[in-house]
Amino acid sequence: MRVYLSIDDTDIAGAPMGTGRLARMFTELLPEDHRLWGVLRHQQLVAEGIPYTSQNSSACIVLDVPNGASRPDLNPLLETAVEHVQRHASQGSDPGVCLATEADDMGPLIAFGTACTTERKTQAEAIQAAGHVTLLGLGGTNDGIIGAAAAVGLTAFGWCGRFIEFNGLRQFGDTVTVSDLEASGIRVLSMDRNATVPAPGDAVHTRGWLRPQLWSGGPVLPVKNDGPGVWTTAHTKNKKKPH
């Protein structure tokens, strides 16, 4: 069974660790029978009146959990996640956690998540969208439940966000072949006007930052042609701007 565990608002300005890193650290605490599929970063609206640290992003950890013929017991996973967030969240932050499965009614959360990319949303709206899905505020104003709920919805939506962890993506070097990327489960897609198909032996220059996007429910790396048999990732890393 696919499980979505998201967190938000775990840091403050100047904190040594952001929400994305905290989420990736949590993957080291997973039970042996919980298989990590990926960790995604999701962007919410950045606008005047919306509190955020640097970019107003949240993170969603996606797992495959054995369940046999019934729903798995996710309480131990939730307890470990809550303890992890409480231990590592910055003093003065407003963390929230959301835990859902593919068996839950994801429609309201998907609608809420997509709306969070263009509209200001409230805790009450997050709670209403979550319904019976687990949504917990863990301190401060508890505003983190907004981004946590949104991250689950956006991941289930399957058409936005970028992977910050997927099948060892951080272990690839500055140059990698198309075939190696696709063997790892990352599809390579040309963003050029003519939309030609990158060949298996073509080289992809990652510029030291390989972050596929979530398209059609899976990781896709947009690239631009840089000459015969050579491609470059379409996006590069931006420097954080403190809010």
Claim to verify: residue 145 and residue 50 sit in the same structural domain:
yes
Claim to verify: residue 83 and residue 140 sit in the same structural domain:
yes
pLDDT score for 243: 44
Claim to verify: residue 171 and residue 154 sit in the same structural domain:
no
Please report whether residue 137 resides in a domain: yes
Claim to verify: residue 153 and residue 177 sit in the same structural domain:
no
pTM (predicted TM-score): 0.91
- CA 75 to CA 44: how far, in whole Å? 28
Residues 6+ apart with CB under 8 A from 61: 4, 5, 6, 7, 23, 26, 27, 36, 39
Please report whether residue 128 resides in a domain: yes
Among residues 107, 133, 161, the one where a domain terminates is: 161
Among residues 161, 187, 207, the one where a domain terminates is: 161
pLDDT score for 239: 60
Please report whether residue 241 resides in a domain: no
- CA 169 to CA 179: how far, in whole Å? 14
Phi/psi of residue 43, each to 5°?
-100, 125
Please report whether residue 238 resides in a domain: no
Claim to verify: residue 49 and residue 139 sit in the same structural domain:
yes
Per-residue pLDDT of the chain (243 residues; tens, 9 = 90+): 999 999 998 777 777 778 999 999 999 999 889 999 999 999 987 766 655 555 678 999 999 998 866 778 899 999 999 999 999 988 888 999 999 999 999 999 999 999 999 999 999 999 999 999 999 999 999 999 999 999 999 999 999 999 999 999 999 999 999 999 999 999 999 998 888 999 999 999 999 899 999 999 999 999 999 999 999 999 887 665 544
Please report whether residue 181 resides in a domain: yes
Domain of residue 145, CATH code: 3.30.70.2200
Claim to verify: residue 170 and residue 107 sit in the same structural domain:
no
Claim to verify: residue 199 and residue 156 sit in the same structural domain:
no
Where residue 191 falls (left for φ over 0; alpha for ψ -120 to 50; beta otherwise) is alpha
Claim to verify: residue 18 and residue 118 sit in the same structural domain:
yes
Please report whether residue 203 resides in a domain: yes
Domain count, the chain: 2
Please report whether residue 183 resides in a domain: yes
Claim to verify: residue 13 and residue 106 sit in the same structural domain:
yes
- CA 164 to CA 180: how far, in whole Å? 18
Claim to verify: residue 12 and residue 115 sit in the same structural domain:
yes
Residue 20 belongs to domain spanning: 2-161
Please report whether residue 200 resides in a domain: yes
- CA 128 to CA 221: how far, in whole Å? 34
Claim to verify: residue 85 and residue 154 sit in the same structural domain:
yes
Claim to verify: residue 142 and residue 227 sit in the same structural domain:
no
pLDDT score for 133: 97
Among residues 133, 161, 189, the one where a domain terminates is: 161
